[in-house]
Structure 1
């Protein structure tokens, strides 16, 4: 009996059948044209049954049974890939324009189903090169191994045909297995020629219109294959999809809010909700095929519930009109916002009769700090299976980060790409999309266009500061009707004013800023001050703390310079102080701008991009309860003659913001116009080279190369895409700030670092991950370079033990930074 896996033993044909069934089921939920679906399902069958064909080699079967190897002769992906290309090289009836590339697609996705995708040019050769023993280095060893494996397959061909034939017939594959296997062992080199010919078309851009789409079909099949393969290998049975009522948000609003009021802040939100609901009904009748939408609403408008209501109604429309249920993917820029949004969604789903028995089948939260649990049919799955299902987005609604989303859409890594098929056909809600770096806007536009065009994704850009990623005529604004536009809702609210307070010389030193605060100070008001660098935030906190305490104020410091656990507790403390009308001043960095629902009378902010300034303004008189307008003071900070904003943001952003901001007070009614001016100028002044380089890499299937040289301005490989730039001069540090941290570190050392059993170590690492990250900060290397590095290779972080704490860490403001150190460590 041929096996695919052991511990427990699994018959190879059972595994191939499961992968095929799972893969075809995954494709079923992707809306496609008839010709594209027929082509994809045919290739999918071939890819599924051939992806582990190499496991029929006796060397692999021996390795599975005994663990013994003969060099790399037990490796199975390459011979499987060549077999897939061989099966797909026949002329076919399928009419899809891209189907002529089927052998290359099958070869490429099967070859890399256990690893990451790489530059297609590294994977091709010609039969002539094989005959002349002149194969390129990237394939030379694999081809030598292949020749010996072909000899082995030849010897055992009759047994292989006998084992595989029943499955072959069951899947209705029109090719004769016996004939194809005989042809393969005799003429396998021809498959290389066919793949090379198709690579030549791509390399020389012979079929440019087709190759623009090829990347997306490659990722769809690769994703479905590797996800199906992992689920089968883990013996996880896929569950049926779940229904979510389209009017769930309406019912929730009726139960928790006064939806009939038309005046005040709640009336303002109700009228926006009504406008959007009427708009999507009108669009469903007039233009049901529209895919790109915007929802431009002021801060405090209740965009989370509003967008979810839109998505659920779109989902119902798709079910009725097209017969499939799109997944809803809600993506945000920061992990700090996700917990808050997830809780809103959990409250929304709670009335569903089976939600608590199937929590993760309904809702999955996924980012790099996620805890992994998966509850289905009232059963908590083991951690490894929970991890697999979470990372595969096996849920109806997924809350995630831009990093997870865009590094899948523009990706090359196996672990990220296994969820690509879940995005195809989905409803994508992109919250605060302006946080994507401007140089990537053309790239983002191209990718979202293709996802909408090829796979019928509906895409909703959700923000108070709508960037100009798409031309206005290509999107539909949801907060709009014949009688009202988003601008009307912006102009209706008068909660805050922005005041430019540049000094006589243009900017303030930290010492001058402290004097400014004292001059503007009004006892009894609550204050938030946001600075661009940790260094300045600490300096000012230390400078004003005593003066404010003498006036009976609670002074709280916030930044990523303190461990996440303490940061979270301080935010809760601030909420309580504000709720009970206590006198409080918060000194912070930009970390407070991202989804932290706090409301102050006065906000000070260092100069920054206009969208960041508007975000900061959203923390001032947020609920419109004050009898007077909240004040937002823009106070540029300089050090050594340079604006600190330029340490953190690109100079162009700083210059444009300074140029655009009026020097007279700006009412909230004018925010919309200023935002449009800002993004218009930013778009015009930014280079598109980075986007153009990545788009070309995607079209050329140039995913990654081992020795690539990263050039952010002119990338050549998909792998050079970085949504967040690497902080190459920083390192993670675990900080033992209390006994609980000490205990967690002891558990981590004992149960992860020192654990010999791989499975136990893996599960313990997952179990402790969230607790560990609550005490980790990112620190400039120069500040912590003297800490013990002996365990760094195992832990990927340094360890600041409690006995050294006072030398490196202050309980009030976190990591101690020397006074002469100039840095721009933000957030």
Structure 2
């Protein structure tokens, strides 16, 4: 065959020779790998990835719509002939379906070794003609990110670290390859490359932020003096070397802009090694709030908001942009994060860093050379803390990243980074002084209290927020108070918030609450709110009184951040009451464990009176040393007491899979797909139930007809409630919901969704028959 074809344009008028595609992908992948000095490795992967297309069978497929053909095993097999190039074999084998598990030779072809065996036995189409057009480069020696390991392979920790680094290096190479392959293929099919975002450089972004901050100086109030002091600390600390930093700032200290000032100024001083800032948040509500702030300062084209609930087609700030092509270009940027400022979720960041899928891994090479700001760092899930710290340390040590741990309740992560050979530098010069200066509330413990008495106490307050650990208790308290007062929800000024309300519904209620708690003309509207913990971070509320069910000390302090938030009241008028529910509500094991550790602190305090005994005692939960000690105990307990001998900070054994895989003459056995399956920050034991409101009837109709795209499906998540599997079964048995696709349900009994409390999960006997 005189000309082997890689792609044919949709109109059939153009054909791309395989050799052209291979060299373009190789060149682009090499450029992507330049920040971590792996150009030769990425180039080899690019040349080899599609040599399987040099077969008669594939040419029949591409030119005559013949049967599908495995074209990726060929390149993986050729690369496997060089024992040093095993990372490239994984990358090429998985460049369409994702990084595979190693498996064994006897596998049926899904795993890497099963596929290599088939190639060795001649059970894939012949591709030998590739040698007439291209030559696969031979990589020799260790890549720099591996050769820079200073320990000897004989040391156990050194050997484990080297294996982790090799596995992560494979994932980064994979990112370079698949992003280059997607982009080059897209360019040919469209006949042109992507329209680039007119993004600013790091120096330009620094100037834009500094221009905004000029108005803050000189500070005119005590609070602004504190905030400017924090900003100044960030400017000074930014001159430091790449590494791990903490920014410990009380609620209201202005860390949103302070962290960005550090990140951009730190990038400016990195000699070109730092290319972007990534802000990772635990909740979408915080992302939406902060992304709007950043867009206002830097412009829409410089800020990418990336999370599952974001809908580019409906974002008003983007729709109003004069550049009609901007929305499309930002959508494309979610694929590889080729934008100077990315605001995303912890889930998106950490699951991508442990993923094997092409869609999630494309962005990884663009994380190299980033300042990664982890806002509300205490929200990194403890059962995955060890692999999260390990991968962050890897990025700092070998991929020119810096990490900033931001929080008012700073987790005690120093020891974990020290185990990785890294120290944590605090940016705020006087964190203790900041907390003293910004003390806004008094914490008191009031012991055990039943719902009846608690509801009475809440009803006596004109404005009060009560946060509990159970959705069932939140509803119970709300209904006790609501039943005592006539009128609708707004007339009564009594509100309920929980995750049984779909996100758009919660957002509307929170906005109502926010408006009521703001003083208007000296008057004060009644506003009594019962909520689960969803209001503790990223929700800008300011109550004079807060009640908090016993939980982790970090949660209690975050609840305190919703009390006297603006600092306009005195300490005596700003109380946070901590209580133990007298009723036995089921709460998640993680919350129960954290509450138990917090109760231990109280039992040890000399002034302790409440929570076990009757009485009312003061206890300062907000002291930085108390918060640090709490996390020390939590992490020590989890590390030492994981179930079945498993480290409780690595519940799924991710590090065992990535640090203790085996290598032999037959190859390197590593389970990339298994790691991705196990690393799920959000428990998978729940399903979405869509609430059929008028705004989404068209999307629901399309979903039922099986013709809905990914973006409208994302829109539906804003009108969905996450329901545990056992509740799904009960609701199905009662005929309250119906399945519309695998794992997705729609509420059939509309009476079960109330405007004040959301979805009713209670199933009464006789409603349905379960065989």
Could you say whether these structures have the same fold, taking a TM-score greater than 0.5 normalized by the shorter chain as the test? yes
Contact kept in structure 2, 1:496 and 1:632, CA below 8 Å: yes
Within 5 Å, give how 1:523-602 maps onto structure 2.
525-547=462-484, 553-579=492-518, 580=520, 581-602=524-545
Contact kept in structure 2, 1:599 and 1:623, CA below 8 Å: yes
Contact kept in structure 1, 2:478 and 2:496, CA below 8 Å: yes
Match 1:217 to one of 156, 169, 172: 169
Secondary structure of 2:484's counterpart equals helix
Contact kept in structure 2, 1:788 and 1:798, CA below 8 Å: no
Aligned to 2:148: none
Aligned to 1:493: 438
Q: Which stretch of the first structure deviates more once superposed, 413-422 or 295-304?
A: 413-422
1:547 Cα offset (Å)? 3.5
Within 5 Å, give how 1:19-168 maps onto structure 2.
19-28=25-34, 30=35, 32=36, 37=37, 40-69=38-67, 74-86=69-81, 89=82, 102-122=84-104, 125=105, 139=113, 143-144=117-118, 147-148=121-122, 152-154=126-128, 157=129, 160-162=130-132, 164-165=133-134
Q: Which stretch of the first structure deviates more once superposed, 615-624 or 418-427?
A: 418-427
Contact kept in structure 2, 1:77 and 1:112, CA below 8 Å: yes
Contact kept in structure 1, 2:279 and 2:372, CA below 8 Å: yes
1:462 Cα offset (Å)? 0.3
1:744-783 per-position Cα deviation (integer Å, ceiling 9, x unaligned): 423544xxx344xxxxx53xx42x2343222211123144
Aligned to 2:722: 778
C-alpha separation between the residues in 2 aligned to 1:247 and 1:548?
55
1:254 Cα offset (Å)? 2.7
Contact kept in structure 2, 1:253 and 1:259, CA below 8 Å: yes
1:143 to 1:372, Cα distance in 2 relative to 1, 3 A = farther
C-alpha separation between the residues in 1 aligned to 2:85 and 2:195?
29
Aligned to 1:312: 264
Secondary structure of 1:501's counterpart equals strand
Aligned to 2:612: none
Aligned to 1:824: none
Secondary structure of 2:496's counterpart equals strand
Secondary structure of 2:245's counterpart equals strand
Match 2:678 to one of 720, 739, 742: 720
1:410 Cα offset (Å)? 2.5
C-alpha separation between the residues in 2 aligned to 1:151 and 1:406?
38
1:110 to 1:206, Cα distance in 2 relative to 1, 3 A = farther
C-alpha separation between the residues in 2 aligned to 1:624 and 1:509?
31
Match 1:341 to one of 278, 285, 290: 290
Within 5 Å, give how 1:408-487 maps onto structure 2.
408-471=352-415, 474-481=422-429, 485-487=430-432
C-alpha RMSD of matched pairs (Å): 3.4
Aligned to 2:281: 332
C-alpha separation between the residues in 2 aligned to 1:152 and 1:378?
49
Matched, 1:515 2:489: no
1:480-539 per-position Cα deviation (integer Å, ceiling 9, x unaligned): 44xxx201000112310111011xxxx233223223435xx24xx411111111111111
C-alpha separation between the residues in 2 aligned to 1:599 and 1:650?
25
Matched, 1:745 2:743: no
1:140 to 1:394, Cα distance in 2 relative to 1, 3 A = closer
Aligned to 1:185: none
1:275 Cα offset (Å)? 2.7
1:387 Cα offset (Å)? 4.6
TM-score, normalization by structure 1: 0.77
Contact kept in structure 1, 2:373 and 2:403, CA below 8 Å: yes
Higher helix share: 1
Within 5 Å, give how 1:202-281 maps onto structure 2.
210-235=162-187, 236-237=193-194, 239=196, 242-244=200-202, 245=204, 246-255=206-215, 258-261=216-219, 263-280=221-238
C-alpha separation between the residues in 2 aligned to 1:249 and 1:62?
56
C-alpha separation between the residues in 1 aligned to 2:544 and 2:159?
60
C-alpha separation between the residues in 1 aligned to 2:457 and 2:327?
57
1:469 Cα offset (Å)? 1.4
1:657-694 per-position Cα deviation (integer Å, ceiling 9, x unaligned): 11214546547695322212211211221136345632
Contact kept in structure 1, 2:70 and 2:124, CA below 8 Å: no
Matched, 1:299 2:265: no
Within 5 Å, give how 1:610-689 maps onto structure 2.
610-627=553-570, 628-639=572-583, 642=584, 644=586, 646-647=587-588, 649-661=590-602, 662-663=608-609, 665-666=617-618, 670-687=622-639, 689=646
Contact kept in structure 1, 2:243 and 2:401, CA below 8 Å: yes
Within 5 Å, give how 1:307-386 maps onto structure 2.
307-318=259-270, 321=271, 323-350=272-299, 359=301, 362-372=302-312, 378=323, 380=325
1:670 to 1:603, Cα distance in 2 relative to 1, 3 A = closer
1:666 to 1:492, Cα distance in 2 relative to 1, 3 A = farther
Contact kept in structure 2, 1:563 and 1:774, CA below 8 Å: yes
Q: Structure 1, unaligned stretches of length 5 or more?
A: 90-100, 177-200, 709-716, 756-760, 822-827
Matched, 1:816 2:756: no
C-alpha separation between the residues in 2 aligned to 1:567 and 1:437?
24
1:535 to 1:783, Cα distance in 2 relative to 1, 3 A = farther
1:544 Cα offset (Å)? 0.6
1:290 Cα offset (Å)? 4.4
1:151 to 1:55, Cα distance in 2 relative to 1, 3 A = closer
TM-score, normalization by structure 2: 0.82
C-alpha separation between the residues in 2 aligned to 1:616 and 1:138?
49
1:656 Cα offset (Å)? 1.0
Q: Which stretch of the first structure deviates more once superposed, 299-308 or 434-443?
A: 434-443
Contact kept in structure 2, 1:496 and 1:668, CA below 8 Å: no
1:134 Cα offset (Å)? 12
C-alpha separation between the residues in 1 aligned to 2:601 and 2:159?
45
Secondary structure of 1:331's counterpart equals strand
Contact kept in structure 1, 2:278 and 2:342, CA below 8 Å: yes
How many residue pairs end up in the alignment?
692
C-alpha separation between the residues in 2 aligned to 1:495 and 1:207?
50
Secondary structure of 2:635's counterpart equals helix
Aligned to 2:144: none
Match 1:17 to one of 5, 20, 23: 23
Contact kept in structure 2, 1:556 and 1:584, CA below 8 Å: yes
Secondary structure of 1:567's counterpart equals helix
C-alpha separation between the residues in 2 aligned to 1:238 and 1:588?
45
C-alpha separation between the residues in 2 aligned to 1:721 and 1:491?
39
1:84 Cα offset (Å)? 2.7
Contact kept in structure 2, 1:614 and 1:671, CA below 8 Å: no
C-alpha separation between the residues in 2 aligned to 1:317 and 1:477?
17
